Structure 1
Amino acid sequence: MLAAIPFPDISPEIFSISIGGFDFALRWYAMAYIVGIIIGVTLVIRATKQPALWPNNTPPLTRQQIDDLLMWLVLGVILGGRLGYVIFYKPMEYLQDPLAIFMVWEGGMAFHGGFLGVILAAYIYCRRYDIPKLSVGDAIALATPPGLLLGRIANFINAELWGRPTDLPWGVIFPGRAAQNCPDIVGLCARHPSQLYEALLEGLILGAVLIYLVWRRGALRTPGLVGGVFLIGYGLARFMVEFVRQPDAQFVSEINPIGFYVHIQGYGLTAGQLLSLPMIIFGIILIQYARRTRQHEPA
């Protein structure tokens, strides 16, 4: 290790109190969800207050519908995120102990599962109330990057989902087994702060691109365009960061030290890359569909 940054001493808990023998704590991860949702909803509300941004100068949602849809989406992201983690990452472990699936307080959520849960919840809501599906998808895409940005920062504070070993000067010495589980390195080792890479790419940069497209390029007037850009942007960002992100321990072995989810003769894809590829492909298809639909609209 040539140089490294010591991990900042930040408690995962913002504060904790004890009432009647019960301990209550507000953690950074929970705060990230709360603030991310507030910022995301604020962006959508601001956009719906500007009818000129939408097709036929008509926003797809009223303020009451935004509040109602939010409850559906929260349920979708929680159920989808948990089931996605169980199915994509540890199916055999949870088959042996099915009750552990409900122990969400012990951690274990998957973005791709939460993403599928959000799609299903939004589809059911839109179909039930006859609301334009693609425009609602664009609104959800616009609202998502703030939560990704803050969520990844919370991952960093929690010292979880760290990256692979590195000798780059911005490598971070994470506490616990992260610093002592590096092959071919004597003493403490530094790792890529992959959580911050994702915060920058999936949150800050992707969010800025979507805001620019919405308020400077009128992208919401082409239903599906914003959603397609989000899918491609997130998929590419996650795919790239997976090269330096430490894979889940169950995928690492002597014959598979890189932690590929699928591999042939030393080459393959990690679980995150495998799940991100369909997002990229579907995003490209969605953009092409949106453009064709826009071109055939009456003037």
Structure 2
Amino acid sequence: MPFLLIDFPVFNPVAVSLGPIVIRWYALAYIVGIVLGWIYARSLIKKERLWGGPAPITLPQLDDFILWVTIGIIVGGRTGYVLFYNLPFFIEHPAEILELWKGGMSFHGGFLGCVAAVMWFARRNNISILSLGDITTAVAPIGLFLGRLANFINSELWGRPAEASLPWAMIFPNGGPLPRHPSQLYEAGLEGIVLFAILAIMIRMGALRRPGLILGSFIAIYGIARIIGEHFREPDPQLGFLWGGLTMGMLLSVPMIIVGAIIIVAAVRRKANGPAPDSVSSSVQGQP
């Protein structure tokens, strides 16, 4: 047993309760993530220097898009979980597909739902699909971070049994007697904080001037981060380990790395829009 074993802090699964209205932590993570992402996206759109000119999407269009992408996340996330992680169960109990409050969402499905929402909205509004994808993925790590924190609070998707020398191992209430990796926190750090920081630095260096660069980077880096996290995360019990010790999360992330790399290469080869952000700043400061 680890000599500094940490007791799991037991949380109330309900975050907000107002009479008959009950909001659980996972739902709150979705709500706050979407709101904060919307605020951050608006701030990016307002900064023309980041785009090399006016942003390819207006603020009113972004406000309309929020509903579309929210539907894409929910429908895609649930559909992905049903198809990728628990199809035999839902074939026998189809009515439970709609019972979202019981949990069961897939990032990869939610991402595909976002892709569909981006493509549909962009075509209907004559917007660059790649640029709208850049905005969407630039803010996505915010929601990923909060979602993983909600997983931790709910004591779900916990990690594999930890080595006896790991001082921060935890015994989760529904994870058996063994101390485990708090893999939700690992993923929150990798998929949330690290990924957000990398994309934010790229944006500041002018990545939005090359449509698709942020999108491709998000896809590829997330795939890498997810595979790393899966090495510490206990596989879903209904699936377990697959071929060669791989998990479903790993298998679904490999194509992301490949597709992301292809999008990055295409974006780098594409001519950048307008002057670089530093050039804009310098020219403005040099004016009398």
TM above 0.5: yes
Secondary structure of 1:294's partner? coil
Root mean square deviation, CA, Å: 1.5
User: Which amino acid in structure 1 is aligned with residue 23 of structure 2?
Assistant: L
Partner of 2:268: 291
Q: Which residue of 2 aligns with 1:8?
A: 9
1:60: how far off? 1.4
SS of equivalent residue, structure 1 residue 228? helix
2:125 corresponds to which of 129, 135, 145:
129
Amino acid at match of 2:11: I
Q: Which runs of 5+ in 2 are unaligned?
A: 276-288
Could you tell me how far apart the structure 2 residues matched to 1:128 and 1:293 are?
A: 24
For 1:28 and 1:74, locate their aligned partners in 2 and report how far apart those are by CA, in whole Å.
17
One-letter amino acid of the counterpart of residue 32, structure 1:
A
Give 1:226-241 correspondences, 5 Å limit: 226-241=214-229
How far did residue 220 of structure 1 move? 0.3
CA distance in structure 2 between the partners assigned to 1:89 and 1:118 by the alignment? 19
Displacement of 1:2:
2.5
Aligned partners of 1:270 and 1:96: how far apart in 2?
A: 24
Shift >6 Å, 4+ stretches: none
CA distance in 2, matches of 1:9, 1:114: 28
Within 5 Å, give how 1:31-110 maps onto structure 2. 31-55=28-52, 57-110=53-106
Partner residue of 1:175?
A: 173
> Structure 1 residues 16, 289: CA separation in 2 closer, same or farther (over 3 Å shift)?
same
The TM-score normalised by the length of structure 2 is 0.91
Question: Is 1:203 aligned to residue 192 of structure 2?
Answer: yes
Task: Give me the whole-angstrom Cα distance separating, in 2, the residues matched to 1:67 and 1:40.
Answer: 11
> More relative contact order in 1 or in 2 (CA 8 Å, sep 6+)?
2
Q: Specify the alignment match of 1:271 in structure 2.
A: 248
1:185 paired residue number: none
**Alpha-carbon shift at residue 286 of structure 1 (Å):** 0.4
Q: Which amino acid aligns with 1:140?
A: T
> Is residue 232 of structure 2 the alignment partner of residue 244 of structure 1?
yes
Distance of 1:83 and 1:15 partners within structure 2: 27
Q: Tell me, in whole angstroms, the C-alpha distance in 2 between the residues paired with 1:77 and 1:37.
A: 10
Question: Percent same amino acid at aligned positions?
Answer: 47
Q: CA shift at 1:17, angstroms?
A: 3.5
The Cα shift of 1:202 comes to 0.4
Q: Distance in 2 between matches of 1:164 and 1:298?
A: 49
DSSP 3-state at the match of 1:192: coil
Q: Tell me, what secondary structure is at the counterpart of 2:21?
A: strand
- TM superposition score normalised by structure 1: 0.87
> Is the CA contact (8 Å cut-off) linking 2:26 and 2:147 kept in structure 1?
yes
1:298 Cα shift? Answer: 9.6
Q: 5+ residue gaps in structure 1?
A: 181-187, 253-258
Residues 11, 125 of structure 1: alpha-carbon distance in 2 compared, 3 angstrom cutoff: same
Q: Which residue of 2 aligns with 1:218?
A: 206
Partner of 1:162, secondary structure, is: coil
1:268: Cα distance to partner? 4.2
Q: Give SS of 1:239's match.
A: helix
